[in-house]
A and B are shown apart, each in its own frame.
Chain A
């Protein structure tokens, strides 16, 4: 126990040196970290300096209405050595999927961590919170709602991982039977960093955690609470297929010449223009590819309500409902109304004709 405490008190620099990591290795690690955090290489010395002094924070990971896809994404991260360094330097005190402890022991660990690090620990949430009937999702007899409220109280900040925690996600999709809501719908008094995506890019998750670890601050966020470094630009604006959009070259189907030539997928319903994420630059699987590169349009998974966005394969400029029919019915109704109203006009005109009093030369003056 005393050994553990002393470990927690050490800075990351001290920890690394004690493990025999050279300064050069540390610099390499910093370069990779900067790249991961989507920060310019000119920031490497600053990062090195901050990491040197960074202390190991306590992290409590809460999983609510979720599919564990986000955790899977994180643990499948390819830049393993960097992650392991980071996870070595954070204290993941509670994660009911990953931790060995179960039941009361697990909850006790959470409570202990909360007490010990009050005001300093980081809460990571994946999954949405059922707010209709709290009984839809409970852990150890505690409803998700209560656990979130209780855990958030002493947190320094909350990181929501995945669209469910950030915006409600799939549980929130119509008809939303559980009354699922996002963390920010419930917690109003803590800084919340949203890392949406279904799942989020693993490097983005670690990048955000690293930022907090490195600088101890909340990164610059957009209006949806997402870090601007990763969510600052739309997929469309950073897409390598963008030149085809500008030239008007589109794949019309999934197996036409355009698809083979790698043309823009806008017409196949790509939500790149309305989706903010780092997929186009960071890519997936260690920078191998991302959905558009694989020939599939972006489904906009890091945006609120993406599941109810009117169909994954319907282009953004197309109405979500059948307006051909609507227009035809409306036009037919318009013809009927026009004829009816026109008929009253015609009647009025013929009434005026009947009311006509012959004008003679005696009628030209008043």
Chain B
């Protein structure tokens, strides 16, 4: 008998018995999608708030993934946003700067809010653009003039 065989194998199975949360979540998604179509109401499911057995999260992701859209953010660490193969169902995973997952959500929406450009950021952007334009305008002035003045 090899040494390896002597070590008991602990196969925590990912059989149907364990996946008692997968079906309910899929049902919940379906209902939320119905609602979205009917009333436009969006829904976010925090996967961290649900007791999942080992492998169940992967199974949910495997079941959903992947659709047409794949976006990446770089905001306080990377984030990955997929539209799943079910249109209107999005999978949002946030990582921190050390690449640890800090949040994972299923969003039932036309587009996750986090992808949209934010008002504050846009106003900062406008300012910045203005600044840059004015700076560019400044720098485009003929050097000779300045020299002349000095």
Contact = CB atoms under 8 A, between A and B. Distances in A.
Is any CB of A less than 8 Å from a CB of B in the complex? yes
Contacts of A35: 46, 48-49, 102-103, 105
B48 A80 contact: no
A116 to B, nearest CB: 31
Interface in B56-94: 56, 73, 75-77, 79, 92, 94
Interface string A240-265: 11011000000000010001111000
B13 A31 contact: no
Q: Name the interface size band of chain A.
A: 35 or more
B17 interface: yes
Contacts of A41: 44-46, 105
B149 interface: no
Contacts of A261: 11-13
Contacts of B12: 261-262, 293
Contacts of A21: 76
Contacts of B113: 27
Interface string B117-128: 111110010000
Interface stretch (A63-71, A134-142, A169-177, A281-289): A281-289
B101 interface: yes
Interface in A178-225: none
Interface string A55-92: 00000000000000000000000111110010000000
B7 to A, nearest CB: 11
Given A78-B100, A243-B17, A260 B118 contact: no
B119 to A, nearest CB: 7
B100 A281 contact: no
B27 to A, nearest CB: 17
Q: Name the interface size band of chain B.
A: 35 or more
Given A38-B49, A293-B53, 9 more contacts: A25-B75, A25-B76, A27-B118, A31-B94, A80-B97, A80-B100, A240-B51, A243-B20, A293-B54
Interface of B: 8-13, 17-18, 20-21, 44-46, 48-54, 56, 73, 75-77, 79, 92, 94, 96-98, 100-103, 105, 113-114, 117-121, 124
22 contacts: A21-B76, A23-B119, A23-B120, A23-B121, A24-B114, A24-B117, A28-B73, A29-B76, A31-B103, A35-B105, A41-B45, A78-B98, A80-B100, A81-B76, A81-B77, A240-B18, A240-B51, A240-B52, A240-B54, A240-B56, A262-B12, A282-B48
Chain A to chain B: the 8 pairs with minimum beta-carbon distance, closest first? A41-B44, A25-B75, A240-B53, A23-B118, A81-B96, A262-B12, A23-B120, A32-B103
